[in-house]
Amino acid sequence: MPTKAQQREETTRNLVAVARELFAAKGYGQVSLAEIVNAAGVSKGALYHYFTGKDQLFRAVLEEVHAEVAARVDKAAPDADPWTQLVAGCTAFLTVTTEPEIQRIMLVDAPAVLGWETWRELDATASMRHLAEALTRLIDDGVLVRQPVAPLAHLLSGAMNEAAAWLAGSAEPARDLADTVAALTRMLESMKA
């Protein structure tokens, strides 16, 4: 028989998985709490036991999505040199954000549901932190021109987030993704020492 902690973990995981599927398919605004609890096979009381409401459940979904995106970026070129890792990681980020589920949750609904500041905080703890670490390593190794890392990380992160949002509305995502990756690579190359 599972312990209370195991039951809590299982229920939470189930609610996040069900909510993620529904949010990805319909969008946050089109999904009701009743729909989530019915699909998860739990009561509204159970949902409120673990989450304060739909927005907190959405935040848990978004945190899961951010973690998955970060993991895919990390796996892009794990054994390569730091420069190749940076370019491959940026490419992986742009590629993964063209997936409809990721676009809907991370780029379309998240800023509207959680607000711009909260969205930026979550981005800073996930993608931006990894980007800053990679840039620091490249500057320390002399690959990139010595410069303050924070503004550079914010500029690159902002450019990639804007490109990802633009790609989300693209009529030709494959072509536009290739063009975006090429432009980003040229931009990164221009920063080399």
Looking at the fold, whether 6 and 78 belong to one and the same domain comes out as no
Per-residue pLDDT of the chain (193 residues; tens, 9 = 90+): 888 888 889 999 999 999 999 999 999 999 999 999 999 999 999 999 999 999 999 999 999 999 999 999 999 999 999 999 999 999 999 999 999 999 999 999 999 999 989 988 888 888 888 899 999 999 999 999 999 999 999 999 999 999 998 998 899 999 999 999 999 999 999 999 9
**Residue 84, in any domain of the structure:** yes
Looking at the fold, whether 37 and 78 belong to one and the same domain comes out as no
Phi, psi dihedral angles at 192 (to 5 degrees): -65, 150
pLDDT at 29: 97
Looking at the fold, whether 15 and 87 belong to one and the same domain comes out as no
Please name the residue that has the structure tokens 């931009």. 187
Looking at the fold, whether 132 and 101 belong to one and the same domain comes out as yes
Sheet strands (E) in the chain: none
9 Cα distance to chain centroid: 23
Structure tokens at 45: 């009381």
Report the 3 state secondary structure along the chain.
CCCHHHHHHHHHHHHHHHHHHHHHHHCHHHCCHHHHHHHHCCCHHHHHHHCCCHHHHHHHHHHHHHHHHHHHHHCCCCCCCHHHHHHHHHHHHHHHCCCHHHHHHHHHHHHHHHCHHHHHHHHHHHHHHHHHHHHHHHHHCCCECCCCHHHHHHHHHHHHHHHHHHHHCCCCHHHHHHHHHHHHHHHHHCCEC
**Residue 75, in any domain of the structure:** yes
Distances (CA, A) of 1 to 4, 7, 30, 72, 187: 9, 10, 37, 35, 56
Looking at the fold, whether 71 and 119 belong to one and the same domain comes out as yes
Looking at the fold, whether 30 and 67 belong to one and the same domain comes out as no
Q: What is the CATH number of the domain that holds 160?
A: 1.10.357.10
Q: Number of folded domains in the chain?
A: 2
Looking at the fold, whether 5 and 76 belong to one and the same domain comes out as no
Structure tokens at 42: 């739990």
Range of the domain at 1: 1-51
pTM: 0.90
Looking at the fold, whether 100 and 32 belong to one and the same domain comes out as no
Please name the residue that has the structure tokens 């993991």. 71
